[in-house]
């Protein structure tokens, strides 16, 4: 997913600006349990990607703000890290309840700042956040906090002060997966949310305050990656940095963190393969695979954007994929009929269009979609749902596009399929379709990736999320996500 640390579609009329949530001007940051003025004086404008109109602004924080927040987190650490499991469980169940009560507000905020269609945003973003908070609270009981070996007591303890740098595509859930998991583990946090979609972070801070989280445990500093993000990654009092972003952003965080030998937790990009073998239900596999890749306008790091199919079935698959892609409805994300919203910024739209324009020059075949603006949607950062057939050596098949673009790649046999699937710098997610789940599970051993869907099975929120190779370091979700923010301590005698 991107993060700066530096066919005929049915167009639907967009809602007038007056009908959208007024997200407003946020000129304060949250430090040590209080909303306070930033030392910065500039504001960052926030744009609605569906209308290209300003929806508010947030203050541009500074290195000095990061230091104030980190000092507050350091003061709060000893007391918070010594709270009981039951105390933290109670707070996180309370956070889940507060999120449940604000589901509609959260949904509308995310639709406005991200552009995800309202029906899917409600389920995946708002209701998903409630689930994740409850799971996090219950997962505290699943961790082995103390083990005994040969007279030694091995303890799991909070890693320390955590710097969390989160993504715009799932603005609240990204905060929960990082800042939330760190707090549940007993750490204190300094958060930089995305300046592109910042308003969910304010809602989370308000809920933290209402849930009774002690002052200094959670701190929010808005700003850009080169200023606030880099200040977090290099601050000597921060013990661990957790980032969701691009490979380039991850490399920069690792470089800065190395000066003080910080631990890093990185959830980066993906170019995930969805392998469909003979004997699978092709109609279901194609439709499910396209849906997975087009979630949130394709702005999901684990989207199954490479569809690998038997060469003998290529023509059949292409026809099915064209039909599936052309069934998407683009338009106003507040309209329940809309199934594909805009991408996040004009810069991102042009980046995706460049991939679409240049792919045929490498030999890729455009099946549906294209770089032109969707009919009737000249305003907003919309991209036509696009499908190519290509070779795995082409840019369209190798680089993360982060838009509604799927590449179909034919294979000749099982060995060829896995050679193609594993021939990627990424290793975040994958899919395997076969005649039976048992057969697909057996084949999963051959796929070098962190998460695999078998015959379209749903993704468990209790299982870990994270990847191999350039897809990052560490895991999120459930017990595994909490354990990223723990250290071992051995007490002998």
Residues 250 and 326 in one domain: no
pTM here?
Answer: 0.94
Residue 1 lies in a domain: no
pLDDT of residue 29: 97
Residue 305 lies in a domain: yes
Residue 42 lies in a domain: yes
Residue 7 lies in a domain: no
pLDDT digits (tens, 9 = 90+) for 122-151: 999 999 999 999 999 999 999 999 999 999
Residues 428 and 479 in one domain: no
Residues 398 and 486 in one domain: no
Residues 295 and 409 in one domain: yes
Q: Which residues are the active-site residues?
A: 267, 301
Residues 327 and 189 in one domain: no
Residue 86 lies in a domain: yes
Distance CA 116, CA 295 (A): 9
Residues 88 and 75 in one domain: yes
Phi, psi of 42 (to 5 degrees): -85, 155
Half-sphere exposure of 265 (CA within 13 A, CB side): 29
Residues 309 and 336 in one domain: yes
How much is the mean pLDDT over the chain?
Answer: 94
Enter the tokens of residue 303: 């989207």
pLDDT at 1 over 60: no
Residues 61 and 175 in one domain: yes
- The answer to whether 427 touches 469, Cβ cutoff 8 Å, is yes
pLDDT of residue 373: 95
Domain residues for 105?
17-268+471-492
pLDDT at 22 over 80: no
Residue 334 lies in a domain: yes
**468 vs 378 pLDDT, higher one:** 468
Enter the tokens of residue 353: 């269009």
pLDDT digits (tens, 9 = 90+) for 84-132: 999 999 999 999 999 999 999 999 999 999 999 999 999 999 999 999 9
Residue 479 lies in a domain: yes
pLDDT at 12 over 60: no
Residues 177 and 52 in one domain: yes
- The answer to whether 314 touches 268, Cβ cutoff 8 Å, is no
Q: In total, how many domains does the chain have?
A: 2
CATH of the domain at 119: 3.40.605.10
Residues 360 and 477 in one domain: no
Residues 233 and 277 in one domain: no
Q: What is the mean pLDDT of residues 52-71?
A: 97
pLDDT digits (tens, 9 = 90+) for 374-411: 999 989 999 999 999 999 999 999 999 999 999 999 99
CATH of the domain at 300: 3.40.309.10
Residues 215 and 364 in one domain: no
Residue 150 lies in a domain: yes
pLDDT of residue 248: 96
């Amino acid at each position: 997913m991107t993060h700066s640390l530096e066919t005929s579609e049915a167009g639907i009329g967009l809602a007038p600006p007056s009908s959208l949530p007024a997200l407003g001007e946020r000129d304060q940051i949250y430090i040590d349990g209080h909303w306070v003025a930033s030392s910065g004086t500039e504001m960052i404008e926030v744009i609605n990607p569906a209308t290209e109109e300003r929806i508010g602004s947030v203050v541009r924080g500074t290195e000095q703000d990061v230091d104030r927040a980190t000092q507050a987190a350091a003061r709060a650490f000893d007391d918070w890290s010594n709270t009981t499991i039951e105390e933290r469980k109670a707070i996180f169940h309370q956070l889940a309840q507060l999120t449940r009560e604000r589901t509609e507000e959260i949904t509308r905020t995310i639709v406005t700042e991200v552009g995800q269609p309202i029906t899917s945003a409600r389920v995946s973003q708002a209701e998903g956040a409630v689930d994740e908070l409850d799971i996090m609270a219950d997962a505290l009981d699943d961790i082995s906090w103390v083990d005994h070996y040969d007279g030694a007591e091995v303890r799991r303890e909070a890693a320390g002060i955590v710097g969390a740098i989160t993504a715009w595509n799932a603005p609240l859930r990204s905060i929960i997966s990082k800042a939330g998991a760190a707090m549940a583990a007993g750490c204190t946090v300094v958060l930089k949310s995305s300046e592109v979609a910042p308003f969910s972070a304010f809602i989370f801070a308000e809920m933290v305050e209402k849930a009774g989280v002690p002052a200094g445990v959670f701190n929010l500093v808005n700003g850009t990656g080169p200023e606030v993000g880099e200040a977090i990654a290099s601050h000597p009092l921060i013990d661990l940095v957790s980032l969701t972003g691009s490979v380039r952003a991850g490399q920069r965080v690792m470089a800065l963190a190395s000066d003080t030998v910080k631990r890093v937790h990185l959830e980066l990009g993906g170019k995930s393969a969805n392998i469909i073998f003979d004997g699978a239900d092709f109609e279901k596999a194609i439709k499910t695979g396209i849906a997975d890749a087009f979630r949130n306008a394709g702005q999901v790091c684990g989207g199954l954007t490479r569809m690998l199919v038997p060469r003998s079935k290529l023509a059949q698959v292409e026809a099915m994929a064209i039909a599936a892609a052309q069934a998407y409805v683009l338009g106003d994300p507040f309209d329940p009929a809309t199934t594909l919203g805009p991408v996040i910024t004009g810069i991102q739209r042009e980046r995706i269009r460049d991939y679409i324009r240049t792919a045929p020059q490498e030999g890729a075949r455009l099946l549906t979609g294209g770089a032109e603006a969707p009919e009737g949607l000249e305003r907003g950062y919309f991209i036509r749902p696009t499908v190519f057939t290509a070779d795995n050596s082409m840019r369209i098949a190798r680089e993360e596009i982060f838009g509604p673009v799927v590449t179909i790649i034919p294979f000749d046999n099982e060995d060829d399929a896995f050679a193609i699937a594993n021939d990627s710098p990424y290793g975040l997610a994958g899919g395997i379709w076969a005649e039976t789940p048992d057969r697909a599970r057996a084949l999963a051993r051959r796929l070098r990736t962190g998460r695999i869907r078998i015959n379209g099975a749903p993704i468990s929120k209790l299982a870990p999320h994270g990847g191999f190779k350039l897809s990052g370091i560490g895991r999120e979700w459930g017990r595994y996500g909490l354990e990223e923010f723990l250290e071992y301590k051995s007490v002998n005698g």
